[in-house]
């Protein structure tokens, strides 16, 4: 059993760690990135719509954007279609995938596993999957970032782009995608 003094000391230590983390959050990369993104989006009358950080964030952000355009594709459907598209266009994707252990280009077997993981796991999506999705949806996908100009994948399509926010420092896991939503104007919200 822990003594009262020991318990109090542990609680004090925990509170000090929380206070240190709060200070770091205010000056840390995550906070700075969030502030920059808020400014970039505000100019466009947009704000971040939080998406859960569960390995499916890119697909969930796409799903959310499609709902805004009356689309009904689920994360599962998006993952299946992405893998299927990539497998039917191997030459467009295989050259960009390398084995992290050897540095060699993926073998056809490794590529097959990569595509299986898209469907069957919470494998993170990135640039290659966004390219596949833009072709599947025949829609441009714009990725807004804090420290570089937006990237548009699938700009050959004339539709209104889906807009995602890419965050490098969002969570302990690192990279994360969010969706956007129109900025609520609080100044005019109370007008009737």
Catalytic (active-site) positions:
54, 57, 176
Which residues lie closer than 8 Å to 58 by C-beta, 6 or more apart? Answer: 124, 125, 126, 129, 130, 164, 177
Edge to edge, the sheet with strand 151-153 lists 46-49, 174-182, 162-171, 141-144, 151-153
47 with 41: CB under 8 angstroms?
A: yes
Least Cα distance to 59 among 35, 93, 83 occurs for 83
Half-sphere exposure of 55 (CA within 13 A, CB side): 9
Token couple for 65: 């954007």
Phi-psi region of 138 (alpha: psi -120 to 50; beta: other; left: phi over 0): left
């Amino acid at each position: 059993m822990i003594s009262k003094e020991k318990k109090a000391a542990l609680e004090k230590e925990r509170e000090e760690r929380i206070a240190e983390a709060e200070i770091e959050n205010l000056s840390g990369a995550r906070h700075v990135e969030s502030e920059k993104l808020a400014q970039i989006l505000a100019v466009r009358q947009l704000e971040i719509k939080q998406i859960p950080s569960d390995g499916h964030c890119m697909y969930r952000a796409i799903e959310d954007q499609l709902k805004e355009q009356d689309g009904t594709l689920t994360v599962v459907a998006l993952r299946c279609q992405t893998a299927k598209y990539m497998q039917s266009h191997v030459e467009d994707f295989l050259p960009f995938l390398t084995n992290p252990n050897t540095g060699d280009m993926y073998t056809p077997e490794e590529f097959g596993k990569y595509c299986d993981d898209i469907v069957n796991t919470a494998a993170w999506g990135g640039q290659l999957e966004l390219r596949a999705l833009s072709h599947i949806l025949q829609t441009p996908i714009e990725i807004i970032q804090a420290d570089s100009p937006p990237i548009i994948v699938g700009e050959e399509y004339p539709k209104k782009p889906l807009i995602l926010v890419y965050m490098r420092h969002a969570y302990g896991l690192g990279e994360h995608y969010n969706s956007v939503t129109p900025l609520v104007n609080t100044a005019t919200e109370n007008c009737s």
